[in-house]
């Protein structure tokens, strides 16, 4: 999906070890397979029996796909429409609604508020036209 610097495609294993693991460690989000959070491997860690020479990704460490999920959730929370979001993300409207829409607190309330405001504005405009005749 993404081209490599020298052509071809990215090797996911290399990208994760060189880029992703470094980023999640820097953010303090990584969990080593021994259970320690990133940045806590030290001499005391080894004294407690930890055999990790360096950070080794756990199955509960964040994965790159969370970036897509975060993007979609934040876009919806910011008021981006589901149609526009589906287009930008290259997916279907149904998938956006099924997967992400429930994450936005107050989405239904905001929807109803916009409809109420539209109806009130329309009613005011109609009253003005009636008064002029």
pLDDT in tens, 44-99: 666 666 766 665 666 667 788 888 888 998 898 888 888 999 999 999 999 998 89
Average pLDDT of the residues of the chain = 77
Give CA–CA dist 95/93, Å, rounded: 5
Instruction: Give the pLDDT score at 95.
Output: 93
Look at the pTM and tell me if it is higher than 0.75: no
Instruction: Give the pLDDT score at 48.
Output: 67
Range of the domain at 123: 64-133
In sequence order, the 6+-apart residues with CB closer than 8 A to the CB of 83 are: 93
Among 123, 4, 24, smallest CA distance to 65 is for 24
Q: In the predicted model, what is the mean pLDDT of residues 3-18?
A: 81
User: Which residue would you say has higher pLDDT here, 126 or 121?
Assistant: 121
Length of the chain: 133
Considering the domain architecture, whether residues 24 and 74 belong to the same structural domain is answered as no
Among 89, 63, 59, smallest CA distance to 76 is for 89
CB 99 within 8 A of CB 72: yes
End-to-end CA distance of the chain: 62
Q: In the predicted model, what is the mean pLDDT of residues 31-39?
A: 64
pLDDT at 105 > cutoff 70: no
Considering the domain architecture, whether residues 81 and 57 belong to the same structural domain is answered as no
User: Which residue would you say has higher pLDDT here, 105 or 25?
Assistant: 25
Instruction: From 17, 33, 61, give the residue that closes a domain.
Output: 61
The phi, psi pair for 79, rounded to 5°, reads: 100, 5
pLDDT at 25 > cutoff 90: no
Give CA–CA dist 45/34, Å, rounded: 10
Instruction: From 42, 61, 80, give the residue that closes a domain.
Output: 61
Instruction: Give the pLDDT score at 38.
Output: 58
């Amino acid at each position: 999906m993404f081209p490599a610097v020298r052509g071809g495609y990215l090797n996911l294993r290399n990208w994760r070890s060189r880029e992703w693991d470094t980023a999640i460690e820097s953010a303090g989000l990584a969990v080593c397979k021994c259970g320690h959070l990133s940045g806590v491997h030290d001499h005391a860690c080894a004294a407690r029996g930890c055999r990790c020479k360096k950070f080794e990704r756990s199955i509960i460490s964040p994965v790159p796909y969370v970036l897509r999920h975060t993007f979609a959730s934040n876009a919806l929370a910011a008021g981006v429409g589901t149609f526009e979001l589906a287009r930008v993300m290259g997916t279907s409207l149904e998938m956006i609604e099924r997967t992400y829409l429930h994450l936005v607190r107050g989405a239904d309330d905001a929807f109803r508020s916009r409809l109420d405001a539209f109806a009130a504005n329309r009613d005011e405009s109609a009253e003005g036209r009636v008064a002029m005749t």
